[in-house]
Amino acid sequence: MSKIRTFFIIFIGASIGGSMRYLISLFLVSGSGFPWGTLFVNLTGAFFLPLLIHYLYDRYHLSATTVLALTTGLIGSYTTFSTMTADTYYLFASGNMKFLTLYLIATMIGGFLFSLLGNYLAAIRATFYYRHERNQANIEQKKDTDD
């Protein structure tokens, strides 16, 4: 696949991911100054990234280009490290140490836990489909030997 085509596929994924992040930021505005929108996109991104990689790629044998579009493009532009650090600085500069601590813990530990959950669910789904396909093959094989 050409690098130009790969670039445009990632570009499309990034456009969708960035637009989704913006829409979420419109809905999760907080009067308290706590960055709920950034926390939400980063935690859900931490959940969906391993799920997309491990489940969809393993289950549907997606091409490397499709995986790049979903991971680097969609999830990469949906999540935002730079906004997280800017929010962290804002909380620090405003002297809101309670929110700063809560935000850092929720982002770091929550992101890790959501990532584990995404990996776990991907493994469960992949195991389910593997067993289902194996059972279907056994049924077909038994059917062929019975005929």
Helix, strand or coil, per DSSP, at residue 123: helix
**Helix (H) or strand (E) segment spanning residue 13:** helix 3-27
- Per-residue CA distances from 86 to 15, 69, 94, 126, 130 (Å): 22, 26, 12, 38, 44
Binding site as annotated, residues for Na(+): 76, 79
Nearest CA among 100, 105, 85 for reference residue 38: 85
- Give the burial class of 80: count Cβ atoms within 10 A of its Cβ; 0-12 exposed, 13-18 middle, 19 or more buried: buried
